[in-house]
Amino acid sequence: MAVTGDSAVFCRRIITNGSDVSSKNWVFRVSANPLRFGFNAEKLKGSKVKIGVRAAVELGVSKSLEGSLGLDVVIEGELREKGFLGLRKTKLVCTIGPACCSFEDLERLALAGMNVARFNMCHNTREWHRDVIRRIKRLNEEKGFCVSVMIDTEGSQHVIDHGAPSSVKAEDGSIWLFTTEKFEGSRPFTVQANYEGFSEGIVVGDELVIDGGMASFEVIEKIENGLRCKCIDPGLLLPRAKLSFWRNGKLVEKNQDLPTLSTKDWSDIEFGISERVDFIAMSFVNDADAIKQLKNYLSAKTPKPIRVLAKIESLESLHKLEEIVEVSDGIMVARGDLGVEIPLEQIPAVQQKITHVCRQLNKPVIVASQLLESMIEYPTPTRAEVADVSEAVRQYADALMLSGESAIGSYGQKALSVLRMTSSRMELWSREENQQNGLQQRQLGQSLPDVIAEQICNCSVEMANNLGVDAIFVYTKHGHMASLLSRNRPCPPVFAFTNDDSTRMAMNLQWGVMPFLVDLSDDMEANISKTIDLMKTKGMVKEGDAVLVVSDAIPSCGNPNVFQSIQVKTIV
Ligand SMILES: Nc1ncnc2c1ncn2[C@@H]1O[C@H](COP(=O)(O)OP(=O)(O)OP(=O)(O)O)[C@@H](O)[C@H]1O
Ligand SMILES: CC(=O)C(=O)O
Ligand SMILES: [K+]
Ligand SMILES: [Mg+2]
């Protein structure tokens, strides 16, 4: 193995972590060739083993420790403290920005319950993103957290800028020029549009709306390079504002001519691959093709699966919602930009519809933007914000997201606590109100094995709820069984055991699923008893606890038998 670079940290941790690893043979995967090394950990302990960066990458992925459960330390702590039903089901995503990017800040967010860290590629330099992503990985490695990393593409957005550093007021009746002409600094009553052709197809009398209603203008004249407009609804123009055009109360759709993935997005995607991110959220998705294109690209490019999320933030994407959800690995309800393209009063119903479709089609859904906006400045949320968060939890969204609250706000950690407390409270209320089984499940599977898996999961959840078991255990390679259980929004938590690290990181977005990374063999009974023993040793389950165990293993070695089962076990 090529031995360069300084990646000793990885090895040292493997060797010294846990006492029973000293005589283990570790399988290190280098590219596609599995190499088997006999390691005597005692001899190596404390010494520096230098390995190539690429090797370290694979090593981190294929590491699955004998005697370890690979459960996030925060979930483990909550389980000990609050018991099975005390575990929060709704997952939490934090946008990382200058206000929360030090190792200590990130650790505080992880401790406060961050499941996924989001990096918005619209802002800051690639070097900044690289450093902070690596900090998260180090946090996971060194402190036992399991925080997934998501990058969010910039996309081709229609933005305008007045060139001044802060906001500019537009007074009623004032006349403004919107132009594609490029100039430095700012000029009075002049706004630059970032793309040629922004005024194409626009006619005198159309309405130009800034940021979904911050200010509105009427187009009074078409001129070379732009539009002359009169302010008809005074307000503020922020730097990098978004604009939309309306005619007779309807949006004039202009997104179709923009590519969903720009040249910059493609290089950000390369960056995401090289930094081994877990999710790529694609901005301004308009149809299923863009998602398919990226997924194909990723599967050809990297052996480690990266999940692709579609952001629903245009009118066009709402027209094609089902086809987009079907091909994506998850969805983000990006209410910020959505509010530029649809009237604000329609957003609650649209959110409800998207979360419903995602649940039907078994895809995780994140509700995003302005959940606790006032907390960017203030240490407490408004009552209305808490009600909004509660509503998303009541709709059984898989995850909630902080944006500016964590990225630039003064109270990011507090905001995260508000999400945590509010979701826990609402989940408890839903459980007590017994609203758990509200959804008639649409059959998803096409083949018999798929239909069987689905039925097993539906029935398992019904059984688990009726029996009042403490937890559901599931053994899963790609997370499919875990997601089918989660889809039924069971009362007990789903403990999902996988030996695939990318599956574990992906399950961080799934409602009620607690991901574990363990060694699994083809012998399902052995897996079950091994994990139960391990959990008992670690005090995570105790005598008398009842668990419902779901397994779906297709034994290898050409055995055509599909082994699927539901068992109820009382821990002895
Ligand atoms: N990495 C960063 N560096 C600097 N500022 C950031 C960073 N990430 C976010 N911010 C700030 O936080 C604010 C909110 O962040 P967020 O990424 O949610 O913006 P957004 O406009 O809602 O997202 P999008 O651009 O995807 O629509 C941004 O307007 C920006 O000012
Ligand atoms: C999150 C995001 O992109 C939006 O709300 O527009
Ligand atoms: K973005
Ligand atoms: Mg957006």
Q: What is the pLDDT of residues 278-293, one digit of tens each?
A: 999 999 999 999 999 9
Structure tokens at 84: 């099975």
398-455 pLDDT, tens digit per residue, is 999 999 999 999 999 999 999 999 999 999 998 888 765 556 778 888 888 889 889 9
Q: Which of 123, 133, 313 to mutate to test the pocket of ligand 1 (most atoms within 8 A of CB)?
A: 123
Whether ligand 2 lies within 6 angstroms of the CB of 370 is answered as no
| pLDDT value at residue 36 | 30
Whether ligand 2 lies within 6 angstroms of the CB of 311 is answered as yes
pLDDT at 61 over 60: no
pLDDT band at 65 (very low <50, low <70, confident <90, very high): low
Of residues 244, 195, 239, 199, the one with CA closest to residue 217: 244
pLDDT band at 48 (very low <50, low <70, confident <90, very high): very low
Task: List the beta bridge partners of residue 399.
Answer: 91, 366
Whether ligand 2 lies within 6 angstroms of the CB of 154 is answered as no
Determine whether 268 is exposed, middle or buried from the number of CB atoms within 10 Å of its CB (0-12, 13-18, 19+). buried
Whether ligand 1 lies within 6 angstroms of the CB of 372 is answered as no
The predicted model scores a pTM of 0.87
pLDDT at 92 over 90: yes
Q: Which fold has domain 75-153+260-432?
A: TIM Barrel (3.20.20)
pLDDT at 11 over 80: no
Task: List the beta bridge partners of residue 552.
Answer: 564
Nearest CA to ligand 1 atom 18: 403
151-164 pLDDT, tens digit per residue, is 999 988 778 888 88
Residue with tokens 């649209």: 350
Work out which ligand 1 atom sits closest to the CA atom of 401: 18
Structure tokens at 112: 């406060």
Whether ligand 1 lies within 6 angstroms of the CB of 407 is answered as yes
pLDDT at 62 over 70: no
Nearest CA to ligand 1 atom 23: 120
Query: φ and ψ at 342, to 5 degrees?
Result: -130, 150
What is the Å distance from ligand 3's center to 284 Cα? 9
Of residues 179, 250, 245, 240, the one with CA closest to residue 218: 245
Residue 555, SS3? coil
H or E segment and range at residue 226: strand 226-233
Of residues 461, 520, 525, 528, the one with CA closest to residue 488: 461
Is residue 431 a contact partner of residue 127, using CB atoms and an 8 Å limit? Answer: no
| pLDDT value at residue 27 | 33
Label each residue of 498-523 as H, E or C: ECCHHHHHHHHHCCCEEEEECCCCCC
Nearest CA to ligand 1 atom 2: 97
What mean pLDDT is predicted for residues 254-259? 72
CA–CA dist 147, 113 (Å, integer): 9
For residue 485, give the DSSP letter.
Answer: H
Of residues 91, 128, 177, 20, the one with CA closest to residue 494: 91
| pLDDT value at residue 436 | 56
Whether ligand 2 lies within 6 angstroms of the CB of 63 is answered as no
Identity (one letter) of the amino acid at 12?
A: R
Of residues 54, 60, 57, 145, the one with CA closest to residue 103: 145
| pLDDT value at residue 68 | 82
312-370 pLDDT, tens digit per residue, is 999 999 999 999 999 999 999 999 999 999 999 999 999 999 999 999 999 999 999 99
99-113 pLDDT, tens digit per residue, is 999 999 999 999 999
What is the Å distance from ligand 1's center to 123 Cα? 6
Distance, first Cα to last Cα, the chain = 46
CA–CA dist 177, 196 (Å, integer): 15
For the chain, how long is the longest CA-to-CA vector?
81
Work out which ligand 2 atom sits closest to the CA atom of 401: 1
pLDDT band at 66 (very low <50, low <70, confident <90, very high): low
| pLDDT value at residue 30 | 30
What mean pLDDT is predicted for residues 526-544? 91
CA–CA dist 482, 476 (Å, integer): 7
* Ligand with an atom nearest the CA of residue 369: 2
Nearest CA to ligand 1 atom 28: 404
CA–CA dist 27, 229 (Å, integer): 67
Write down the domain spans for the chain: 8-62, 75-153+260-432, 159-251, 439-490+493-570
| pLDDT value at residue 260 | 83
179-226 pLDDT, tens digit per residue, is 999 888 889 999 999 887 888 899 999 999 999 899 999 999 999 889
309-321 pLDDT, tens digit per residue, is 999 999 999 999 9
**Start-end of H helices in 320-446:** 321-327, 335-341, 347-360, 383-394, 404-407, 412-432
For residue 370, give the DSSP letter.
Answer: S
| pLDDT value at residue 544 | 95
pLDDT at 383 over 70: yes
Whether ligand 2 lies within 6 angstroms of the CB of 153 is answered as no
Q: Which residues contact 408 (CB under 8 A, 6 or more apart)?
A: 97, 98, 99, 376
| pLDDT value at residue 438 | 57
What mean pLDDT is predicted for residues 254-275? 88
Work out which ligand 1 atom sits closest to the CA atom of 128: 1
Q: Which residue has the higher pLDDT, 240 or 379?
A: 379
Whether ligand 2 lies within 6 angstroms of the CB of 454 is answered as no
pLDDT at 2 over 50: no
CA–CA dist 256, 428 (Å, integer): 43
| pLDDT value at residue 32 | 29
Q: Which residue has the higher pLDDT, 23 or 122?
A: 122
| pLDDT value at residue 58 | 34
CA 157 to chain centre: 21
pLDDT band at 240 (very low <50, low <70, confident <90, very high): confident
Q: Which fold has domain 159-251?
A: M1 Pyruvate Kinase; Domain 3 (2.40.33)
Q: Which residue has the higher pLDDT, 441 or 380?
A: 380
One of 3.10.20.30, 3.40.50.720, 3.40.1380.20, 3.40.50.1000 is the CATH number of 439-490+493-570, namely 3.40.1380.20
Is residue 406 a contact partner of residue 416, using CB atoms and an 8 Å limit? Answer: yes
User: Which of 9-18, 157-166, 443-452, 481-490 bottoms out in mean pLDDT, i.e. has the lowest?
Assistant: 9-18
Whether ligand 2 lies within 6 angstroms of the CB of 419 is answered as no
Whether ligand 2 lies within 6 angstroms of the CB of 118 is answered as no
Whether ligand 2 lies within 6 angstroms of the CB of 362 is answered as no
